[in-house]
Amino acid sequence: MIELDPQQAAARTWFESLRDRICAEFEAIEREAGSEAAFEYTPWDRIDPSGEPGGGGVRGVMKGKVFEKVGVNVSTVGGTFEGDFAKSIHGAGDDPRFFATGISLVAHMTNPHVPAVHMNCRFLNTTKRWFGGGGDLNPPLPIEEDTADFHATMKAACDAHDPAYYERFKEWAETYFYIPHRKVSRGVGGIFFDHLDGDFETNFAFTRDVGEAFLDAYPRIVRRRMDTPFSAADEAQMLEWRGRYAEFNLVYDRGTLFGLKTGGNIDAILMSLPPRATWS
C-alpha cells in the first residue's frame, strides 16, 4: 500500500465512486435487455522496480447481451520511472518519482449501431500535479444524432468551467485519436485534455464534470440504439473497424504505453482490445 496525501486520496475516492456508478448503470442496461450479466472484479498489486510496494488497482470486466465486452479499471500506483521514460512525462525529467490514480473505460458493443466508447480521467503527480482525460465516441456505423448528443453533453461540461475548453479539447481529441498509418480518425471524437495543472480544486471539479457528462450521455445513447436490427454486413463492418481500434491502442495510445512502462497489470492494460476483430 502506498501512502496518499489528501489530494491524492480525494481523487482516488472519486474515481472509485464513478466506477461504481458506471458499472451499476451498465448492469441495469443488461437487465433491461433480459440479461443477468454482471461485472467481475479482479484486484491486482504492483511492485515498484525499487522492490517496494507500488500500489495497484481493480480490473472490472463484463460480457453481456448489450455489452459484448466492457472493461472499467481503477488504479492507484506510485514509485519511480525506469530509464529515459521519465523524460517523456510532464514534470518528471529531473525527478523520476511519480504517483498516478485514475479510471479507464472501454466498451465494445454487440450491436453495430451502438457506438463503442472510451473514457478516462486521471490525476498524476511528478514535480508537477495535473489532471487529464476525456471521452470519445467510436461508432462502426456513425449516426449524427448520437454524435451530436455526445458532443453537446461534453461541451456543456466544458462550458461550465471555461468557454474556450470545448473547442480546444475537441481539437486535441481529433489530433490524438487519429491513426496516421491508416489516415483515418479512430471515431467521431469527443474531448481530450492533459497536463491541466494549477489550482487543484478547480481542475478536479472540471474532471468530475467530464466523468458525470459521460455517465449522462453514453447510457442514453446505448438505450437509444441497442434494439436496432442489424445485418451481417453491419457486423462485418464493425469487426473490421475494431481492427483499426486495436491498431491505435497497441501502436499509439499513451495510456497503454504508460501502463506497460510502469509495470501495470497486463490484463488491465489490454482490456481495451476488442473480443473479436477482423483484418481483411
pLDDT tens for each residue of 103-119:
999 999 999 999 999 99
Residues 6 or more apart whose Cβ sits within 8 Å of residue 116: 106, 107, 108, 109, 137, 138, 139, 140, 187, 242, 245, 274
**Cell of residue 199, nine digits:** 489550482
6-272: CATH class: alpha beta
pLDDT at 183 over 90: yes
pLDDT tens for each residue of 229-254:
999 999 999 999 999 999 999 999 98
Strands 53-62 and 67-80: antiparallel
Whole-prediction pTM value?
0.95
Task: Judge contact between 136 and 189, C-beta under 8 A.
Answer: yes
Distance CA 96, CA 183 (A): 35
Share of the chain above pLDDT 90, in %: 83
The number of helix segments (H) and strand segments (E) in the chain equals 7, 9
**Whole-number pLDDT of residue 2:** 85
pLDDT at 260 over 90: no
pLDDT tens for each residue of 5-64:
999 999 999 999 999 999 999 999 999 999 999 999 999 999 888 788 899 999 999 999
Catalytic residue check, 108: no
Catalytic residue among 108, 113, 118, 151: 118
